[in-house]
Amino acid sequence: MKGSLLLAAFALMLILEGLLPFLSPQAWRNAFRRVIEMQDGQIRFIGLSSIIMGVVLLMVFR
């Protein structure tokens, strides 16, 4: 059961990640240009914030 849940979560992540490049490739390119211009610390902060939000959401919905 846990394996199939993990696979479903991964599939959902792929769907969500694919929406922006599919719907608006130009906006996707612009977003990556902005990320490339960021400092390493800014990118790490975004990554850490994303991890914390994901953990909090998992705790809330479990």
Per-residue pLDDT of the chain (62 residues; tens, 9 = 90+): 678 888 998 999 999 999 999 999 999 999 999 999 999 999 999 999 999 999 999 899 88
Q: Which residue type is seen at 43?
A: I
Tell me, yes or no, if the pTM score tops 0.85: no
**DSSP structure class, residue 16:** H
Residues 28/21, Cβ–Cβ less than 8 Å: yes
Output the average pLDDT for the chain.
93
Single-letter code of the amino acid located at 15: I
The structural domains of the chain, with segments of one domain joined by +, span 2-61
